[in-house]
Amino acid sequence: MKRIFGIFVATSTLASLAACSVSTTPGGSDSGGKKSSGTLSIGFSQATQQSPFYVQLRTGAEQAAKKAGAKLNFADAGDDVTKQNNDIQDLITRGVDVLLINPVDPKGVKAGLAAAKAAGIPVVTVDRPVPSGAASHVGRDNKEMGRLVGAEVAKALGASGGKVIEIKGDAGGAVARDRSAGFHEAVAANKKIKIVAGPYCDYIRSKAVTAMQDLLQTNPDVKAVYAHNDDMALGALQVLKENNRTDVKVAGVDGLMEAVKSIAADGPYLATALNDPISLGATAVSTALDVQAGKKVAASVDAGTGLIDRADADTYTGSTTFALAGKE
């Protein structure tokens, strides 16, 4: 099937710096960080805001919290795991009822998880899982995303195969690992497809642009590029266009609208996998609220995914930053 839906201690100086990074949405906390009477408080520690996906993930969480009448206290770790642990401690100090954590490093956030456990505050992870310490994880099947896109790339290359450059997400991250594994599985049957491992570009377009400039020089015979998200894939596409390489096929993951429109235009962009961050943020908040209320929640909540290719990209095209889940 093409679509699958369903689916610490820190010094006083560091603590003070972390406190300055925490922002709150209207209606739940006063300037002292104490909860308003009767308002449930959610702490959201996010890995970064340097990618459109994570910006929209925050938006989805904020919208869902507001709709539920809850207060969302937000902290951006800026891809710094030490800062994230400090942010989590600050959110705990502010008296949140439940924590949402999108970890910079699933293992590196262990101190934050331990602090939450000691404070009796339940944790729900989002997008990136942790080995242990969370009541539930909300995400999508990233291996399936890689597999869906990989199958489309294999089909486009045909029996002759060719060289495929893979631009990776973050080193050691479960998302990057799974998106890579799924892709490799999908193309493995064609022994003429050779995958060249590119660098980790942290899901950031500008880093992918720099990497692709070097990769194209050392791999002039490349036939396709697969990136672990659309933002990096679009960076690679930019370099290919600048070098008049319209013969190289491109694919990514996440359903970034810029990529969807490129697919619909029947250009070299082949496919992406649906990963609507707005609905993911909303699902994470609703799961966190259920956990805080003591309801039975699955250890892993799959928010669903699906392939977007040239056959249906026009049906997903719109004014949103990412293709919306549930569209036909």
Closest to 230 (Cα-Cα) out of 185, 266, 279, 263: 263
Cα–Cα distance measured from residue 224 to residue 194, given in angstroms and rounded to the nearest whole number: 10
Q: From 3.40.50.720, 3.90.1300.10, 3.40.50.2300, 1.20.1250.20, which CATH number describes the 142-274+307-316 domain?
A: 3.40.50.2300
pTM, two decimal places: 0.81
Please write the tens of the pLDDT for every residue from 142-160.
999 999 999 999 999 999 9
Domain 41-139+278-297, what architecture? Answer: 3-Layer(aba) Sandwich (3.40)
Asked if pLDDT for residue 289 goes beyond 80, the answer is: yes
Work out the average pLDDT over 104-122: 96
- pLDDT score recorded for residue 24: 60
N-to-C CA span, the chain: 14
Please write the tens of the pLDDT for every residue from 29-58.
333 334 444 789 999 999 999 889 999 999
- pLDDT score recorded for residue 15: 37
Cα–Cα distance measured from residue 165 to residue 219, given in angstroms and rounded to the nearest whole number: 8
- pLDDT score recorded for residue 286: 97
Q: Between these two residues, 33 and 88, which has the higher pLDDT value?
A: 88
Does 41-139+278-297 match 142-274+307-316 in CATH topology?
yes
- What are the domain boundaries of the chain? 41-139+278-297, 142-274+307-316
Cα–Cα distance measured from residue 182 to residue 145, given in angstroms and rounded to the nearest whole number: 7
Name the maximum alpha-carbon separation found in the chain.
66
What secondary structure letter does DSSP report for 233? H
- pLDDT score recorded for residue 9: 34
Asked if pLDDT for residue 239 goes beyond 50, the answer is: yes
Asked if pLDDT for residue 315 goes beyond 80, the answer is: yes
Q: Given pLDDT bands bounded at 50, 70 and 90, which one contains residue 8?
A: very low
Helix (H) / strand (E) element for 273: namely strand 269-273
Asked if pLDDT for residue 3 goes beyond 80, the answer is: no
